[in-house]
Structures are given as C-alpha cells and as structure tokens.
Amino acid sequence: MNFVNGKDIPMGFGMALAQNSKAMTRFSAMTEEQRREIISGTHGIKSKNEMKLYVEKIAHM
C-alpha cells in the first residue's frame, strides 16, 4: 500500500485527516501496519461526523 501520496486512503478519511493536522502528523508517523489497521477501521463509518470523530481519536493517540 502507498500511504505517502494518499493512493490507498479512502477519500472521506483522507479529507477528514487533511482537516486535522495533529491527526495527520500522527498517522504519518505510524508504521505501515498501524496505518492499515486505522484505514481498516474506517470501513464501518457511515457519516461525515463519525469520520471526524474517528480522526479526532487518532489525534489523541
């Protein structure tokens, strides 16, 4: 997977991540395995608000 250019990041997650610089920094510092787990966790998210809350959790990890 290529997480550097966002190719394998779901669009809604990428957009929410781009709006939260702290979460973006934390996500970028993760190992590839950790990033896969985070991305996997996005698949059950059904709304923009849920995604925002999910990304906020990443910021506070």
DSSP calls for 3-50: -SSSTTS-HHHHHHHHT-HHHHHHHHHS-HHHHHHHHHTTTT--SHHH
Share of the chain above pLDDT 90, in %: 84
**Mean pLDDT throughout 22-50?**
95
In the structure, what pLDDT confidence band is assigned to residue 3 with cuts at 50, 70 and 90?
Answer: low
Number of folded domains that form the chain: 1
The average confidence (pLDDT) of the chain is: 90
- Domain span at residue 48 reads 11-59
**pLDDT for res 4:** 47
In the structure, what pLDDT confidence band is assigned to residue 6 with cuts at 50, 70 and 90?
Answer: low
Query: Is 2 a domain residue?
Result: no
User: Closest Cα to residue 55, out of 42, 44, 43, 46?
Assistant: 42
End-to-end CA distance of the chain: 22
Query: Is 19 a domain residue?
Result: yes
CA distance 26 to 60: 9
**pLDDT for res 8:** 82
